[in-house]
Structure 1
Amino acid sequence: MVTMLDYINEEEDTLLKILENHTLKEDENLAKIEHLMILATGSSYNACLSAKMFLEKYGDLVVTIEEPYNFNHYGKLVPSVDAVVAVSQSGKSASTIDAIAKIKDQNVFHMALTSDLNSPISKVVDQVIDLQMGIEKVGFVTKGFVSTVLQMMLLGITIGFSKQKLSEKEVNEAKGQLKQVIQQIPEVINKSQNFFNNHQPIFKLGQRFIAIGYGPAWGTAKEFETKFTETVRKPSHGFELEAYMHGPYLEADTQHILFFIENESINSKRSEALRSYMFIYVGDVFTITTKKAEANNTLGLEINCPEWIAPLVLIIPFQIFAFQTALSKGIDLNVRIFDDFDTVLKSKI
């Protein structure tokens, strides 16, 4: 039976194929985009949040991310929005399809990013972007998450090139950086597994898990929240660095395990200061960083890349931790729970 771990181990090959298949071409519809609205929920939302900085930087545009159900019932299309991309790995998300229908008659360009080109969402948009990672049969999305991050990054590159804001040389340089990071995924997986093995008793006994990130790593923290909630099934939360410092820290106690997600940034010093402060108030503090490890409680990936690319690999340790922590707690992820959920709640078409 296929597991989360199987899909995690396929991530390098999948991402390299996506990168190799990316065709650089000018698109007149993309060239017009100044304000892009993304409709996504769950892991798709987290992936888009992870790619937002890259997308805005290379696409030279403004990006807004909306939860489709809330947008459909309470939202309003901002006049400056000139394009919408709906992200649904299965292509069957009812709320996302309904949100597209709400704005279908407005003068905006509609796209969908999905794994199933024959899915319901593919039939209600102007252009479909193939996620190019097949159908992920395990409900706890891993390969689909990183594929979405990369596809959104490549969309940013294509938009920038179509707008003539990026030269072919700059595009190739950006794709070269992406490739270098992707090729380090096997080593990231290996380091993450070793780190888990060294700290397994802490993960096994953990009752409250919190991740804190800044910039694009906020998306990583939110995906940590999603994965740990789905698999470990203990209270788990992902916070943006400054948001954690405005109230949530007040619940900290010795049952809390904190993960600080760090990379090269002007915000790294602030994260380090918070980490040092919280150390004496919680059970354990771990750091996941793109830099070299300087302590036993730090997982150093030693990857030299700008922070807007780092989300491609920073999530992988948490995917490993989620899978292995669930196993250590005796949770069989192959046993489906709430099997009638989608049918009763009509969350999927």
Structure 2
Amino acid sequence: METMLDYINEEEVTLKNILDKFTLKKVSGFEKINNLLILATGSSYNACLAAKVTLEKFANISVTIEEPYNFNHYGRVSAAVDAVLAVSQSGKSASTIDAIAKLKKEGLFTLALTSDITSPIAGAVDEVIDLEMGIEKVGFVTKGYVTTVLQLFLLGLTIGYNKGTLTQKQADFYCGELDKVITAIPAVIAKTNDFFTLHEDIFKLGTRFVAIGYGPNWGTAKEFETKFTETVRKPSQGFELEAYMHGPYLEADSEHILFFIETKSVNEARSHALKSYMAPYVGKTLTITTQTTKAPEKLGLEIECDELVSSLALVIPFQILAYKIATAKGINLSQRIFDDFDRVLKSKV
């Protein structure tokens, strides 16, 4: 039976194949995109949040991300929006399909990013983007998450190229940065396995997990929240750096394990200051960083890359830790629970 780890171990090859095949091309309608509305939920939402800053930079556009169910029933599309992207790995998310169909009727240019180009969502839009990763059969998505992030990066490059705001030289530079991150994935997996072994005892005892990130890695923190909630099944939450300082820190106690997600950035010093302050009040503070470090409480991925592409690498340790901590706590992730959930709640078509 396939597990999360099987799909994590496929990530390097999958992402490498996508990047190697990528070329800048003209796509009708892309040149008109200035304000993009994205509809996504769950891990797809988190991937969009992790890619948002980069997508905006590459494409020279503004991006708004909405939960489709709430938007469909209570939201109002801005007059500035000129394109809508629905993101659904399975292509069967009922709320996303309903929302995108409604917006298409309003005359907006619609796109879908999905791993199944024959799925219901693919038939509801003007332009379909294939995730190019096959079908992920394990419900706790990992390969699909990183593939979504990469495809959103590449979408940004393509839109920027079509608008004439991104040069071939700039695109080549960022593709080089992406290649650097993807090539490092096997080393990231090995380092994370060692990091888990080093801290296994405290992970097994953990009853409250928190991740704090900034910039693109706010999305990484939110995906940590989703993955740990799904697998470790203990209270887990992901925060943007500054948002954590405005109230959430007040619940901290000795049972909390705090993960700080860091890259070279103007925000790094702020993250260090928060970590130093919180350390005496919580059970453990740990750091996942793209930089090189020998400190035992820090997992250094040793990837010298632009912060804009860092979220593609920094999520992988959390994917592995989610699986390994759950297993260490005696949770059998191959045993399905709430098996009738989608059928009863009609969350998938």
Please state if 1:279 is matched with 2:304: no
AA partner of residue 51 (structure 1)? A
CA distance in 1, matches of 2:132, 2:126: 19
AA partner of residue 165 (structure 1)? T
Report the equivalent of 1:201: 201
Report the equivalent of 1:134: 134
SS of the residue corresponding to residue 65 of structure 1 reads strand
**5+ residue gaps, structure 2:** none
Structure 1 position 169, deviation (Å): 2.0
Please state if 1:291 is matched with 2:291: yes
Report the equivalent of 1:269: 269
SS of the residue corresponding to residue 105 of structure 2 reads coil
CA distance in 2, matches of 1:152, 1:291: 24
**5+ residue gaps, structure 1:** none
CA distance in 2, matches of 1:309, 1:341: 35
Report the equivalent of 1:55: 55
Per-residue deviation, residues 146-199 of structure 1 (Å, max 9, x unmatched): 000000000000000001111222212211111111100000000001000111
Report the equivalent of 1:155: 155
Aligned length: 349
Report the equivalent of 1:164: 164
CA distance in 2, matches of 1:28, 1:34: 14
Please state if 1:5 is matched with 2:8: no
AA partner of residue 311 (structure 2)? P
- Contact 2:177–2:306 (CA under 8 A) maintained in structure 1: no
- Contact 2:49–2:65 (CA under 8 A) maintained in structure 1: yes
Greater Cα shift, 24-33 or 45-54: 24-33
After superposition, residues 91-102 of structure 1 pair within 5 angstroms as 91-102=91-102
TM-score after normalising by structure 2: 0.99
SS of the residue corresponding to residue 106 of structure 2 reads coil
Structure 1 position 26, deviation (Å): 1.5
Structure 1 position 243, deviation (Å): 0.5
SS of the residue corresponding to residue 258 of structure 1 reads strand
Structure 1 position 28, deviation (Å): 2.9
CA distance in 1, matches of 2:177, 2:307: 12
- Contact 2:90–2:114 (CA under 8 A) maintained in structure 1: yes
After superposition, residues 68-107 of structure 1 pair within 5 angstroms as 68-107=68-107
SS of the residue corresponding to residue 25 of structure 2 reads coil
AA partner of residue 28 (structure 1)? S
CA distance in 1, matches of 2:90, 2:28: 28
Greater Cα shift, 339-348 or 299-308: 299-308
Per-residue deviation, residues 60-113 of structure 1 (Å, max 9, x unmatched): 000000000010010011000000100000000000001112212223210000
Query: Percent same amino acid among aligned pairs?
Result: 66
Report the equivalent of 1:336: 336
Structure 1 position 293, deviation (Å): 1.6
CA distance in 1, matches of 2:282, 2:294: 20
CA distance in 2, matches of 1:270, 1:314: 19
AA partner of residue 303 (structure 2)? I
AA partner of residue 86 (structure 2)? A
SS of the residue corresponding to residue 286 of structure 1 reads strand
CA distance in 1, matches of 2:107, 2:296: 55
- Consecutive aligned runs of 4 or more in structure 1 exceeding 3 Å deviation: none
SS of the residue corresponding to residue 28 of structure 1 reads coil
CA distance in 1, matches of 2:64, 2:323: 31
